[in-house]
Structure 1
Amino acid sequence: MADISSTTLSVTQGDEQTTQTSQVPQAPQTQQAHEQPASQTHKHNGLHQIIHDIDERDAEARYREEAADNIAGVHTRSSAVHHHNQRTPSLSDNENDALILAWSENDHENPYNFSSLRKASIVITTMLSIINSTMGSSLPSNAIPYMAEEWGVTSTSQKVLPMSTYLIGYIFGPLVWAPLSEQFGRQKLSWATFAFFIIWTMACALAPNWPAFLVFRLFCGTFASAPIAIVTGILADIFDNPVSRGRAMAFFMVMTLLGPLIAPIVSGYCSTTIGWRWTFWIGLIYAGASLIPLLIFLPETYGPILLRNRAIRMRKADPKLNIVAPHELEKKDLRELMTVVLTRPLRMILFEMIVTSVCAYLALVYAIFYMTFQAYPLIFEGIYHFGPGKEGLIFLTIGAGSLLSLPIFYAYDMYLYRATQSGKPWTKIEEYRRLPLACLGGPVFVISLFWLGWSARSDVSFVVPMLAGVPFGLGFMLIFLALLNYITDAYEIFAASANAAASCCRSLLATVLPLATAPMFTSLEISGACSLLGGLSCIMCVIPFIFIWKGEQIRANSKFCIALRERKIEMLRKVEEQRQRQLHFEQRDGVLSESEPVIRPDQKETV
């Protein structure tokens, strides 16, 4: 939810709009100078004009809703209360007689006001679902040779498909789950998708043949992608403080990395002892155990849905009560759902330079990470003659590197906090809040690839290439932490869709690139293949430096950021107008009698 203290969206008297003096800061002239030519350009550009109009409509609708959701202590009254035929402030011209339900200050049902213990339980519960989701992606990695032997699969490219089909689900799933969670809420969607994930995991354990197994993996990945898309939205729902939200995102990213690293150990030891199918039975047992806290401890955290539920309860308690939640006033038919809500991540990928650049960089890093599940067996089984289980343990060094990123992240976070408290000028530059970590992580990641490639030789101890996993995990985590937090901050109320766009792109490349791993490492050898990947990563690691250099200009030219900024400024202006309007009502009418109640959300729902 956007951090807006209070508002309604239209203030009218008779047929004319009332204008009040606003104390909300207006957009800087420099921004207006950027925005005006941009809007003129859109008018002469067919496709871009259509996209711009959709973005404007999308941003306006969401900020109208978010503004009313976060209202604090300013509530509308029935038109019967007002005299002289005055119209009630409303979110819609068709809702003039309705009371608009909104949060009051310190409302205990507002997710921002959840207790620390409750927030911690939500974070832990969602992290369990993240581990399930990401562990499933690499679960068959060391079991594939045994499956291939049982079903007579000999093609090298076919043997990559159990992981690739799962990641295909990661491509398309977030494009649906993220915007749906922003429209219908987080809780029930999380429950439903996780239940289907369990069902398809069981189907993988019972698969009768190779084609059926691949189909089951596709569906498994589609439903497993839901936590990746939804959890970032949940964290944005419950943490309004960027510091707290950033720390929660750090745990989120660690879990996304640890899951795939645990899976090769499970499949490596299961396949050689009790059979490859037990790889999936163990995954199913863990998923079933994770479902229990998900059902118990995960509440609905999406503010608009919580207010809608409260309005429904109040109307049920008193059918004569004409009260609505802002979410109910935003009428979205199927056409609106298809053209605005579900296209939001795609529009971000195609027309937002920030999202496009971040997606490209994260996609390469993520794909290289999944290539290690093909490359490590070539290195540690081919050169050092490790068994599948022992080779799976090598992935723990990547996990150690990812954990090492947390103290670095927290140290920078504290440094940034102290600098902000001291009023350092550089802290006012948005890119400095997140991107310096990516500036550190990018070169570290590049070094790890050259380290691995040029030390993996029979005359060098396995410890040397194994230790390359530490900077690999460290660089990987710092890049992801910085860039995902950056786009989360940049796109605010559309954080889930921005993260879904990033998830879609990185999963797409992680699906395709591992297909080339075996041919590339065979033709270029280990040193050449790792050097090629290191060179590509070196080119891409300039992206956060460019953002720090030109980030403000890039955001100023971003259609989505312009639309969000304009809507936010407009809503903040109307917040102040409504405050002034409410003061006017109170001064004119005096204290209301008991027959003229004002509905407040912190009151009991029986009116």
Structure 2
Amino acid sequence: MSDSESLDLPQSLEEVSTRLSRRSSNGVSMQREGTRGQASNIIRIISNQDAEYRYRIEEADNRIQPNKGWSCHSIHDTTEKKIISWEPDDKENPYNWSNKRKLSIFIMTMAGVINSTMGSSLPSMAIPYMTQEWGITSDTQKVLPISTFLIGYVFGPLLWGPLSEHFGRRYLTIITLSLFTIWTLGCALAPNWPAFLVFRFLCGAFGSAPIAIVTGQLADIYKDFVTRGNALAFFMATTIWGPLIAPIIAGFCSTTIGWRWSFWIALIYAVVTLVPVIFLLPETYAPVLLSRRAQKIRKADPTAQVYAAFELEDKDIKQVVTRVLTRPVRMILTETIVSSTCLYLALVYAIFYISFGAFPIIFQQLYGLSPGVTGLLFLPIIGGVILALGTFFAWGSFLRKSKQRNRPWTKKEESNRVPLAAIGGPLFAISLFWLGFSAREDVHYAVPSLAGVGFGVGYQLIFMGMLNYLTDAYEIFAASASAASSSSRSYLAVLLPLATTPMFDQLGISGSLSLLGGLSLLLSGVPFVFLWKGERIRAGSAFCIALKEEKLEMERRAKLDWQRRNVADRISQEKEESP
């Protein structure tokens, strides 16, 4: 690809103005309102280029004849280069891999997710014992073992998600999981409180990688939206099983063999999951796989001018910083769908982590239960998650049949998964009210603990509905959208748990949970707004429009390409058959 034809970013505000003027002359109107308007326009240009460039790579990978002007010349000379792409039914294309291979990838990635999410809440039932060992008395300090981990969750996905879309998934997964394992060892051996908190932060930063990368890996291997949706449902269930298993481990270890054994057990599990990832997890990112194929051809024949389109992408540090690493932040700041989804999920996620501080207050202080038994009371939430999975698959079956019957409502993207979140939101809020008003000394602890079933169902349906919607809306940038969501919700999950003890002291159990339930009920309107005005919101999104236009254009050219090849094959066959 020549320098003139590459999708370079604007070098200055003057260049931005020139490009905007050119677009305005083509009927595209953009208003500039001082510095804010200029910044908005820069973001719009970068996003448009991001969409255009990524779909051009996609076209080249799939043997689709591109628009005129998309030729590939060397950046250093004018020698013509041949771009390789996937052949029809290419066995090396991840979409065409066997179900057995896809299943093995799915299992390994889910194991990595459990590593990450289990680590997030691992100290929850062990905090009283570690703070006693190190003489920590401040209530604010006692929240830090979980909060510092989640601080890592804030920043990690902003790197790992977009970098996985730039350099591939496999090596990034191996590096981050290896370092997560090392920092988990550091937690087990920590000599003092400050060192322990540093190791917890590093665990969170590197442990956040699967949350950002796995959605991209699933999109890499599952083309059908129904299959991909089912895989994402299990992924989201896995993200909640990990944090709920951890308190049980910590609760029983702390009272018997010591709190450090919570981390030794986590370390053993991390090593067990790391070994198959190193030796068995393949690269799933199609552009990287095609690049390796081209490199193999060039190695066998040094004179061959064969390249993958991804190899010709400009990967200098400026492009990585301005286009790749800013993508999740741009999505949060400029995409209404992403920002509102992130706000809702952030509150729900923060309440989930508040529960790790609330359960000891309710079930240990009020009911006098042991840490181990208190940990077991998280099991109803797991039961709710399982019920939510059943609901998800039942909805998927109903949706598939409705699509086959061409029901008008199935034509809207919001109808695919958002109704699940619309059901889950009120259930989640009701479960908080239930827990708050039933947690009394004159009521058996089993009654408030059963609120966990509604909590688990609601939490899971909200996440399945909203994150699937993000994936469907930004599928080619699913990892970046997931990174934006993960980072923003972790940010709120760092802050709100700090207020858990003061809030429960001031408002009591019923008052605190009523406040959280009221906020949840208020934001549960977000899915309903999407169902009502989703098409209009997407129509006002510059990035959504750019992605949709590029995708439709690619599909149109793919169809023309297919017709052209059919005609050519028919003519060739007629020539062979003619005497």
Identify whether the pair has TM-score above 0.5, normalized to the shorter chain.
yes
Q: Which stretch has the larger CA shift, 97-106 or 196-205?
A: 97-106
Output the amino acid matched with 1:254. A
* Residue 544 of structure 2 corresponds to residue 552 of structure 1: no
1:431 paired residue number: 414
Output the amino acid matched with 1:399. I
> Shift of residue 58 of structure 1?
0.8
Which of these residues, 386, 402, 407, is aligned with residue 385 of structure 2?
A: 402
* Residue 500 of structure 2 corresponds to residue 508 of structure 1: no
- Quote the Cα distance in structure 2 between the aligned partners of 1:88 and 1:586: 26
Output the amino acid matched with 1:197. F
> Shift of residue 205 of structure 1?
0.5
1:176 paired residue number: 159
- Quote the Cα distance in structure 2 between the aligned partners of 1:252 and 1:413: 16
- Quote the Cα distance in structure 1 between the aligned partners of 2:574 and 2:201: 63
Q: Answer whether contact 2:110 2:238 (CA < 8 A) is retained.
A: yes
Which of these residues, 31, 51, 54, is aligned with residue 46 of structure 2?
A: 54
* Residue 30 of structure 2 corresponds to residue 41 of structure 1: yes
Structure with higher RCO (Cα < 8 A, 6+ apart): 1
Residue-by-residue CA offset, 1:106-160 (whole Å, 9 max, x unaligned): 1111000011111111111110000010000000111111111111100000000
> Shift of residue 105 of structure 1?
1.1
Structure 1, unpaired ranges of 5+ = 1-8, 16-34, 76-86, 593-607
- Quote the Cα distance in structure 2 between the aligned partners of 1:296 and 1:191: 10
1:456 paired residue number: 439
2:215 paired residue number: 232
Residue-by-residue CA offset, 1:515-569 (whole Å, 9 max, x unaligned): 0001101100000000000000000000000000000000000011011122223
Matches within 5 A, 1:13-412: 39-42=28-31, 45-71=37-63, 90-91=71-72, 97-412=80-395
- Quote the Cα distance in structure 2 between the aligned partners of 1:188 and 1:69: 21
Structure 1 residues 588 and 96: alpha-carbon distance in aligned structure 2, compared to 1, 3 A threshold: farther
- Quote the Cα distance in structure 2 between the aligned partners of 1:287 and 1:340: 33
> Shift of residue 280 of structure 1?
0.5
Structure 1 residues 587 and 251: alpha-carbon distance in aligned structure 2, compared to 1, 3 A threshold: closer
Structure 1 residues 36 and 112: alpha-carbon distance in aligned structure 2, compared to 1, 3 A threshold: farther
Structure 1 residues 92 and 496: alpha-carbon distance in aligned structure 2, compared to 1, 3 A threshold: farther
Q: Answer whether contact 1:88 1:96 (CA < 8 A) is retained.
A: no
Q: Which stretch has the larger CA shift, 574-583 or 456-465?
A: 574-583
> Shift of residue 90 of structure 1?
3.0
- Quote the Cα distance in structure 2 between the aligned partners of 1:276 and 1:565: 51
- Quote the Cα distance in structure 2 between the aligned partners of 1:552 and 1:425: 14
Output the amino acid matched with 2:330. R
> Shift of residue 88 of structure 1?
11
2:11 paired residue number: none
1:441 paired residue number: 424
> Shift of residue 297 of structure 1?
2.9
Residue-by-residue CA offset, 1:160-218 (whole Å, 9 max, x unaligned): 00000000000000000001000000001000100000000000011110001100100
> Shift of residue 359 of structure 1?
0.1
1:472 paired residue number: 455
> Shift of residue 578 of structure 1?
5.4
> Shift of residue 295 of structure 1?
2.1
- Quote the Cα distance in structure 2 between the aligned partners of 1:260 and 1:509: 17
Which of these residues, 398, 403, 412, is aligned with residue 420 of structure 1?
A: 403
1:536 paired residue number: 519
2:474 paired residue number: 491
Structure 1 residues 92 and 552: alpha-carbon distance in aligned structure 2, compared to 1, 3 A threshold: farther
Give structure 1 regions of 4+ aligned residues with deviation exceeding 6 angstroms.
35-38, 580-592
> Shift of residue 41 of structure 1?
2.8
- Quote the Cα distance in structure 1 between the aligned partners of 2:126 and 2:230: 35
- Quote the Cα distance in structure 1 between the aligned partners of 2:570 and 2:225: 38
> Shift of residue 572 of structure 1?
3.5
- Secondary structure of 2:443's match? coil
- Secondary structure of 1:41's match? coil
- Quote the Cα distance in structure 2 between the aligned partners of 1:488 and 1:371: 27
CA RMSD of aligned residues (A): 2.6
Q: Answer whether contact 1:431 1:551 (CA < 8 A) is retained.
A: yes
Structure 1 residues 228 and 117: alpha-carbon distance in aligned structure 2, compared to 1, 3 A threshold: same
2:8 paired residue number: none
1:598 paired residue number: none
Output the amino acid matched with 1:235. L
1:81 paired residue number: none
TM-score by length of 1: 0.87
- Quote the Cα distance in structure 1 between the aligned partners of 2:395 and 2:114: 26
Q: Which stretch has the larger CA shift, 445-454 or 88-97?
A: 88-97
> Shift of residue 71 of structure 1?
2.4
> Shift of residue 582 of structure 1?
6.7
Structure 1 residues 586 and 331: alpha-carbon distance in aligned structure 2, compared to 1, 3 A threshold: farther
Q: Answer whether contact 1:170 1:221 (CA < 8 A) is retained.
A: yes
Structure 1 residues 39 and 454: alpha-carbon distance in aligned structure 2, compared to 1, 3 A threshold: farther
TM-score by length of 2: 0.91
Output the amino acid matched with 1:59. A
Q: Answer whether contact 1:89 1:96 (CA < 8 A) is retained.
A: no
Residue-by-residue CA offset, 1:414-473 (whole Å, 9 max, x unaligned): 000001011111111110111110111001001100000000000000010000000000
- Quote the Cα distance in structure 2 between the aligned partners of 1:49 and 1:333: 23
> Shift of residue 379 of structure 1?
0.3
Structure 2, unpaired ranges of 5+ = 6-23
Aligned length: 550
The percent of aligned pairs where both chains have the same amino acid is 57
Output the amino acid matched with 1:53. I
Residue-by-residue CA offset, 1:317-361 (whole Å, 9 max, x unaligned): 111111000101211211110000000000000000000000000
> Shift of residue 585 of structure 1?
8.7
- Quote the Cα distance in structure 1 between the aligned partners of 2:321 and 2:30: 26
